Structure 1
Amino acid sequence: MSLVAAYIVPHPPLAVPEVGRGEETRIADTLSGYCEVARRIAAHAPETILIVSPHSAYYGDWIYLGAGSAASGSLAQFGAPQVAADLSFDEELRCAIEDLAAERGLPVGCVSAAARELDHGMLVPLYYIEQRYPSDKYRTVSIGGSGVHREKLLAFGACLAEAAARIERKTVLLVSGDLSHKLKADGPYGFEPAGPLFDEGFARVVESGDPLAFAELDPVMCEDAAECGLSGFIMLAGALAEAERESGEPWSSELLSYEGPFGVGYGVAAFEREEADRSREEASAAKAMADGDGADEDAQAADSPACEGGVGGVSSGESIDGSCGDDPLAALARLTIERYVREGATPEAPALPDDLPRRAGCFVSIHVASTKELRGCIGTIEPVRAALAQEVIANAVAASTQDPRFPAITPAELADLDVSVDVLFPPEPARIADLDAKRFGVIVTQGFKRGLLLPDLEGVDTVEEQLRIACMKAGIDWRGGFDGIGIERFEVARHG
């Protein structure tokens, strides 16, 4: 094994709730991007994560590798000392990288013991990765940004991939770097015309599928934009090119999110083997993104023989009251999850109260009760089964065992779950002026792409945010505005 994936993430400290104290909700796209990167890293299960941070030891004529056998750090300087991490270094891989760099005459090595402390460029993305892939599962090589010539950065990136292949280390490359710091006149660094130009160039390179173009961005523009991640992006390009040369397997690239509300650009990008990317696209056919965002309508049904009822199921007369505040739909969803997780069976569809619709689309959402963390969410935009109860049962099974973002729920987790059901009223065409993020959910459509976001979600306070997130999850480019994008609105009845 060698390099299996690479990711670019930003590192604003306020992205960590203990630092942001509510301000992090203004970069909801970025937080979603972090979570998606963490999910993908956990799915790859790398032995080592190579982490490039421009806030580690940065030299104009040297590329720094983290010294020693381990490092630790916290966000104490940002008022959150409780947010901390301890990492073990992969000394074998680090030595292999050094050896290759020496063979090629590159200025690389461990020269600063003081830089063993983890910086916020590493700690911010690690905060989200830790939730899905704890640091006891992997080792790390810490790499600093560098001002050396771009050709040397590309060559060093090639050393990363070649060293991982040489010692057969399954590796992920994570590059931490903000984009331009000069996007807004009222931002902390002011405005320069080069700021948005650099960020547009970043997005264009990612979407082109040719990361080597990072090394071709205008140096004057890059300097005027006051970016902090470009040297790492160029290392990434060299690593991907070398890995492709060795394996013959091409890479796909994907811009997961971009925003800059504080005057600094935050971009999240993913680079995967094309085969893995195709597998992920197939898996996405069964998922609705967190709390209903970014669902593909054709993919929502999550049909499974186990969802049809009656397989070792309980009778339709079994009580579903009491476990979810006496709400019959939430109670039915919980009963289904508990029965299916424990026994692989589902209940028969019961008769529901007359005040509930006979048929409707619905989403089943599962959260960890003690932490409020999402644990699964799948649903149907429109009804695909004969009765609402059948819809709830099928989506409860899918949310608990088939959401590709999470492993299947285990019996040990059942006591610490909150289950809710959102029943969707029929959608109707809408203008932006007709929307209300608290009252209405939205569906956006462009060609075959369709994305959904439920209403009244924490951290989504404006219609623009709601539309942007729905477009992002559907893979629709919204940056030129929402003209040409179909918009529908719907109301929901939330149960549980």
Structure 2
Amino acid sequence: MLVAAAVCPCPPLLVPEVAAGAAPELDAARAACTDALGVLAASRPDLLVVVGPAEKSGRGPHPEGARGSFAGFGVDLDVRLGRPDGEGTDPGTGGAGPASPERELPSSLAVAAWLLERTGWSDAPVEGLGVGEPLEAERCVQAGRQIGERAGRVALLVMGDASACRTLKAPGYLDERAEGFDAEVARALAAADVTALKTLDTSLAHELKAAGRAPWQVLAGAAEGAGLGGALLYDDAPYGVGYLVAAWS
């Protein structure tokens, strides 16, 4: 059963070495992520599953000890998911196939691995799941249900950005619908509103380049019947992209 969840954004800019001179601009977001991970540690889980958006090559399960790299962002920095000698198992992907330790973590899970290393996570085994942006809502929810059944006490670290269309200089340019979409997601995360997350407009999320949509719906599936409460710890769009941090427990 799901006992706690942390929701964090996943821009590589969260990593100070990647952000370089712009690093201080996300200090508040990093602090909020640290607080959210503290909620996970306090829940004393038997298993932590990290869920984040992924391109095709990074979709499916990633075992504990899987490697990630920020070399693609011009930084000589490698990370590992959880303990380097861990043995991951399939967190329930609806036939995604066996976990492969040779595959590199998608960037969202690499950012998660960096957050876990930064906070000194050692409380429970860690596994990763990369989900594709096109994955239908019901399949996301079903994957979440399967994750919630994996252990007596399961925690989730859910990585994903909100819309990328909040300003003229945003990656997706300005879309007047973006602010309202992000506000609804923020409200749902603050209230641990499982129904609202399950029924997010998938077409609108795609148009607004909201990479967190599928991971949030995995969270919704895992949280069904868990009776968790929510708290929104951060809500801003410093680069025209909505970054949200929340904790459920």
- TM bin, normalised by shorter chain, reads 0.7 to 0.9
Distance 1:184 1:111, change over 3 A: farther
Supply the distance in 1 between the matched residues of 2:35 and 2:208 (Cα, whole angstroms): 27
CA RMSD in angstroms comes to 2.5
* Deviation of 1:251 (Å): 1.0
Task: Identify the match of residue 163 of structure 1 among 130, 143, 150.
Answer: 150
* Deviation of 1:236 (Å): 0.5
Q: Is contact 1:71-1:89 (8 Å) kept?
A: no
Supply the distance in 1 between the matched residues of 2:45 and 2:56 (Cα, whole angstroms): 25
1:234-262: CA deviation from partner (whole Å, max 9, x where unpaired) = 110111114x2xxxxx2101111011111
Unaligned residue ranges in structure 1 (runs of 5+): 102-106, 245-249, 273-496
Q: Is contact 2:6-2:37 (8 Å) kept?
A: no
Supply the distance in 1 between the matched residues of 2:30 and 2:64 (Cα, whole angstroms): 31
1:170-199: CA deviation from partner (whole Å, max 9, x where unpaired) = 321111101111111122331112221221
TM-score with structure 2 setting the length: 0.87
Distance 1:111 1:193, change over 3 A: farther
Which residue of structure 2 lines up, in the alignment, with residue 145 of structure 1? 131
Which residue of structure 2 lines up, in the alignment, with residue 191 of structure 1? 174
* Deviation of 1:143 (Å): 0.9
Q: Within the alignment, does 1:110 sit opposite 2:97 as a pair? A: yes
Which residue of structure 1 lines up, in the alignment, with residue 243 of structure 2? 266
Please list, as runs of the form range in 1=range in 2, the aligned pairs for 1:165-184 lying within 5 A after superposition.
165=152, 170-184=153-167
Distance 1:114 1:251, change over 3 A: closer
Distance 1:185 1:77, change over 3 A: same
Query: How many correspondences in the alignment?
Result: 245
Supply the distance in 2 between the matched residues of 1:56 and 1:111 (Cα, whole angstroms): 17
Q: Is contact 1:42-1:132 (8 Å) kept?
A: no
Which residue of structure 1 lines up, in the alignment, with residue 68 of structure 2? 73
Q: Within the alignment, does 1:64 sit opposite 2:47 as a pair? A: no
* Deviation of 1:86 (Å): 4.7
Amino acid at match of 1:77: G
Q: Is contact 1:57-1:112 (8 Å) kept?
A: no
Which residue of structure 1 lines up, in the alignment, with residue 119 of structure 2? 132
Q: Is contact 2:232-2:245 (8 Å) kept?
A: yes
Greater gyration radius: 1
Unaligned residue ranges in structure 2 (runs of 5+): none
Q: Is contact 1:58-1:145 (8 Å) kept?
A: no
Please list, as runs of the form range in 1=range in 2, the aligned pairs for 1:26-425 lying within 5 A after superposition.
26-55=25-54, 57=56, 64-66=60-62, 70-87=65-82, 88-91=86-89, 94=90, 97-98=91-92, 107-110=94-97, 113=100, 116-134=103-121, 137-146=123-132, 147-165=134-152, 170-242=153-225, 244=226, 250-272=227-249
Q: Is contact 1:73-1:117 (8 Å) kept?
A: yes
Supply the distance in 2 between the matched residues of 1:56 and 1:45 (Cα, whole angstroms): 31
Distance 1:44 1:219, change over 3 A: closer
Supply the distance in 2 between the matched residues of 1:114 and 1:130 (Cα, whole angstroms): 18
* Deviation of 1:9 (Å): 0.6
